[in-house]
Amino acid sequence: MGDYDIGHHAPDHYTIRYRCDDRRGRTALIVEDVSGAAYLFSGGALQGRLRGANASARLRRLAQQTSWHTVPMVAPYTLDGLRRMIA
């Protein structure tokens, strides 16, 4: 299925692929690194990693949220940039 261990060598930049806002106003993101691995970004931190073909779409399905929205691909963000965005 994939690897959820982030490890010690996390990439520096992430491209946002999906966004989800819950009823309390909290935001979660599914982001991709340059290798195509997908991560859930929630609570100001990366929550795990899923690798392989179509990793972002598969992680979206695993997250079981009905309100995930596709985000147009733009320049990647650092972790601090992602934190500022959803603060």
**Does 59 fall in a domain?**
yes
**Does 71 fall in a domain?**
yes
**Does 7 fall in a domain?**
no
Give the domain extent around 25: 15-86
**Does 68 fall in a domain?**
yes
Q: What is the pTM of this model?
A: 0.82
Indicate the number of domains in the chain.
1
**Does 6 fall in a domain?**
no
**Does 10 fall in a domain?**
no
**Does 53 fall in a domain?**
yes
**Does 9 fall in a domain?**
no
Q: Quick: pLDDT tens for 23-36.
A: 888 899 999 999 99
pLDDT < 50: residue spans in the chain: 1-8
Report the C-alpha gap between 68 and 57 in whole angstroms: 10
> Minimal CA–CA distance to 86: which of 46, 54, 50?
46
